[in-house]
A and B are shown apart, each in its own frame.
Chain A
Amino acid sequence: MTSVCFYFQVHQPFRIKPYSFEEIGHNHFYEYDTQNKSIMEKVSNKCYLTTNKLMLELIKKHEGKFRISYSISGVCLEQFELYKPEVIQSFKDLVATGCVEILAETYYHSLSFFYSKREFERQVQKHADKVFTLFGVRPTVFRNTELMFSNEVASYVSNMGYKGIICEGVDRLLQGRTPNFVYQTPAHESIGLLLKNYSLSDDMAFRFSNREWKDFPLTAPKFARWVHSTAGNAETINLFMDYETFGEHQWPETGIFDFLEYLPTEILKHPDFNFKTPSEIIDSYPKRDVYDVPYPTSWADSERDLSAWLENRMQQQALHSVYSLEESVLKTGNADLLHTWGKLQTSDHFYYMSTKFWSDGDVHKYFSPFDSPYDAAIFYMNVLSDFKSTVER
């Protein structure tokens, strides 16, 4: 058998507002709450609510044969609760079908693994607790922020008791092998590695509406045919993407919802294909080979590395500065400060500071609430200056 494994990332950061240096020392409210609310409103209507409704219909229609998974960041869950509670309910309805798995991650969608293991564990635990409170389930498969992954991440998470982990299938590390099997770490830890099939995933997530693409238009039968062509040489086709693919990155006019609606039927037409969630994949298939990732990878850009978050000096300084506050924050024993600190660790803040494509004038490469990576860095550093003075007072 070959299983199609869907995993969708659901995340929205608490964006910080344009915060002037003149506010440092007396304005301790950093969130761009009006924008956060309106974005949550917009994306919920365009994507989350619409797509959840369709997913629920598909699950019911296929009587348990259509199965999917999500990881929803803690900061996103909080914003659902604050601004759009009905989205939480729609996810609860999905989980209640038994066909939907929720994955573990860092509560704040952070890079904490690379800066503080103690903070990393705190965030993973906090997220698992939140998921249990809302959905009554405990995640068993882990997904690090933006699929940031290395041997070290896998081994650490394995020791924390997770049986599987999601990662990118990077060509230079696969060395000609297919991502379509469960892999193991070089140290043969018990954890199973699920590698993203970026080619098929990106066909859906990025190329779907691209009229320049030679395979445009992409239809469900065509896509299913590509998936079926792996028969005999694949056990899991891991289709990992942003959930916002549906309705937000790909607008309804592109036909993405029709595509999604017909895809399960088309996939299931082949008797040797089914759908499984990540933990079911781990339980069903043996680890076929070693996937050795000595340096961190991610699912970002063609480099598939962490450069989108920490390539330039301002990103490095911002990250270093926020994590250097750990002891001071913990010493306050103040839960609100701890939570604010966590929200300042969200990876998006550093992503907005990326200058990777800036000089080429490709300003729209990244979705950012700011006009430039410099504005992102300036407002963040001003906020952090105020936070530091608050914590150290």
Chain B
Amino acid sequence: MKSKLKVLTLGWEFPPLLTGGLGIACYGLAKALSKLVDLTVIVPQSNPELPIESFQLIGLNHIPFTREEGMQESLLEHLQYNYEDFATVKKIGIDLNPYPSYQTQVYREISISKNQTLHLEPIVELKASEAYDLFQDKDIYGPNIMRKVAAYTEVVCRLAESIPFDIIHCHDWITFAAGIKLKEKTGKPLVVHIHSLESDRVHPDARNDVYYLEQAGMQMADKVLPVSQFTAENIVQFYGIDPNKIIPVHNGIEPVRKFRSKKENPAEKWVVFLGRVTRQKGPFMILETALKLVKRMPNVKFYVAGLGDQLGHLKYLVEQTGMDKYFVFTGFISKKEVGELLSRADVYFMPSISEPFGLSALEAAQFDVPCVISKQSGVSELMPNALKADYWDTNKFSDLLYAILNFDGISETLVSLTRKDLEKINWDRAANTVFEKVYQEFS
């Protein structure tokens, strides 16, 4: 019998250090894939509260490091430990702000030439002590994100020398430099997983270092795995990647225990939005839709749960348009509070401008909340029984919300059919696709 394939997965966010869908997806996929392959996952920070049995998780924040006065060794010389030690985890990273405002251009440590090849500058000046500190930073993104990427790249490449693997599997641009270097070094096949792109987060026309790193990673990759067909199309359109090596793999979702709760005022109808309040999420579409809807439905309340760089502006506009009595801004809420909110929601509203996947819609659906989502979302491919409109079509959005809130037959049909759709969405299915259509191609 052939021995199991060995896969080295390079990730960034990982539970419980979550900010968006990336960490949840990376974890869910790893868990399911570990049934099929031998898996080692390297992330900048791990946490001992999450018990991992089926694969090896290495958090770089647990590399033992002794700070010695006057030592000027390079990082590379210092990585002389055996890595069994750092699978155990001591520190919890908290208070994450993963998506630095895209206007800031603070990173120049990695330079990428604008032609087809990626050129990583040698980072000789990066000291072990600095790398160590970077992995301890409670913010795993932050303004020095490119320096963290550089440190991660160096340390991972070094570590990989003592890890047996057949395939490199990278999750999103922050790990791509490491993936590219490893492929160059070892000749092993490179798989890059795309959870979100600069073209989603910033703008389709964004051409910055992150964009070029994404592009270089996808060019260098043997297979590119976007989380949706929607993202696959963006990769072709905005990054010029060969469609023949793109294999969309829809995310799965972990089951939850759902419950319904009563609202204090049952006459109120709650429209709920969960997520970062950033341009990408289409927050102003919420207001535009609300302006149309409340003319016919004064009993509607829009709950906006989340933080983001557009929150202040949205609040300002809500106030200016006299809509404050129809809006509730909860700020950041915990997982438990999310459940409480969804258990009272009448409809979930996700008007994203460009959403590679959109896990929150599935989470709402798990609570039997009918969903109104934009067509510019990957999750819409998995939700035939969500109501959809183009993100700019607030006339249509208001029609869809009105229908769900007024015609029980429509919302009940959406919910009951979505329950069946959810049964088909799980990580095993995603892992099987990755295993059969990607990994096995290399073996």
Chain B binds chain A: yes
Take A20-B395, A359-B420, A381-B403 as given contacts and tell me if A374 and B296 are in contact as well, using a CB distance cutoff of 8 Å.
no
B residues less than 8 Å from A359 (CB atoms): 384-385, 417, 420-421
In the complex the two chains form, is B399's CB within 8 Å of A317's CB? Answer: no
From known contacts A21-B399, A22-B292, infer whether A355 and B410 are also in contact, taking CB-CB under 8 Å.
no
Which partner residue on chain B sits nearest A319 by CB separation? B409
B377 at the interface (CB under 8 A from A): no
- Whether A21 contacts B296 in the complex (CB less than 8 A), given A359-B421, A374-B410, A377-B407, comes out as yes
Residues of chain A within 8 A (CB-CB) of B413 are: 312-314, 355, 374, 377
User: Does B229 touch A at the CB level, under 8 Å?
Assistant: no
Contact of A315 with B by CB under 8 A: yes
A318, CB-defined interface residue at 8 Å: yes
Chain A residues with CB under 8 A of B403: 21, 374, 377-378, 381-382
Whether B398 sits at the interface, judged by CB under 8 Å, is: yes
Q: Cα distance A374–B400 when bound, in Å?
A: 9
Any chain A CB within 8 A of the CB of B272? no
By the criterion CB–CB under 8 Å, are B421 and A313 in contact?
no
Q: How far is the CA of A385 from the CA of B403 in the complex (A)?
A: 11
Task: Enumerate A312-345 residues with CB–CB distance to B below 8 Å.
Answer: 312-318
Asked if A358 is at the interface of the complex by the 8 Å CB criterion, the answer is: yes
The 8 A CB mask of A6-49 against B (1 = contact, 0 = none) is: 00000000000000111010000000000000000000000000
- Supposing A22-B292, A313-B408, A314-B407 touch, asked if A374 and B414 sit within 8 A by C-beta, the answer is yes
Distance, CA A22 to CA B406, complexed state (A): 13
A361 at the interface (CB under 8 A from B): yes
Q: How far is the CB of A371 from chain B (nearest CB, A)?
A: 9
Which single residue of chain B is at the shortest CB-CB distance from A359? B384
Min C-beta distance of B259 to chain A, whole Å: 22
Roughly how many angstroms separate A305 CA and B214 CA in the complex, as a whole number?
Answer: 54
Closest-by-CB residue of A relative to B416 is A313
Q: Check B421–A377 contact: CB distance below 8 A.
A: no
Residue of A nearest to B384 (CB): A359
Residues from chain B with a CB closer than 8 A to the CB of A313 are 408-410, 412-413, 416
On whether the beta carbons of B399 and A20 are closer than 8 Å, the reply is yes
Shortest beta-carbon distance from A375 to chain B in Å? 9
State how many angstroms separate the Cβ of B421 from the closest Cβ of chain A: 6
| Option from A20, A24, A358, A377 in Cβ contact (under 8 Å) with B410 | A377
For B421, what are the chain A residues with a Cβ–Cβ distance below 8 Å?
359
* A378 neighbours in B (Cβ, 8 Å): 399-400, 403, 407, 410
Q: Which residues of B contact A361 (CB under 8 A)?
A: 384
> Smallest distance from the beta carbon of A172 to chain B beta carbons, Å?
26
The residue in B384, B400, B407, B408 that gathers the most chain A C-beta atoms within 10 A of its C-beta is B407
**A24 and B387 contact, CB distance less than 8 A:** no
Q: Which residues of A contact B385 (CB under 8 A)?
A: 355, 358-359
Chain B positions 371-409 with a Cβ under 8 Å from a chain A Cβ: 384-385, 387, 395, 398-400, 402-403, 406-409
A316 cross-chain contacts in B, Cβ below 8 A: 409
Question: In the complex, what distance in Å separates the CA atom of A24 from the CA atom of B414?
Answer: 23
> Which residue of B295, B384, B407, B416 is within 8 Å of A381 (Cβ)?
B407
B389 CB → nearest A CB, Å: 10
B66: min CB distance to chain A, Å: 59
* Cβ contacts A to B, 12 pairs, < 8 Å: A312-B416, A313-B413, A313-B416, A314-B412, A315-B409, A317-B410, A355-B417, A358-B384, A359-B384, A377-B403, A378-B403, A382-B399
A residues near B (Cβ < 8 Å) are: 20-22, 24, 312-318, 355, 358-359, 361, 374, 377-378, 381-382, 385
Binding site for A on B (CB under 8 A): 292, 295-296, 384-385, 387, 395, 398-400, 402-403, 406-410, 412-414, 416-417, 420-421
Q: List 19 additional A-B contacts (Cβ < 8 Å) besides A22-B398, A314-B409.
A: A21-B403, A22-B395, A22-B399, A24-B296, A312-B409, A312-B416, A313-B409, A314-B410, A314-B412, A314-B413, A317-B407, A317-B409, A355-B385, A358-B417, A359-B385, A359-B420, A374-B410, A381-B409, A381-B410
User: Which 9 pairs of residues, A with B, have the shortest CB-CB distance?
Assistant: A317-B409, A314-B409, A313-B412, A378-B403, A21-B402, A313-B409, A312-B413, A381-B407, A314-B413
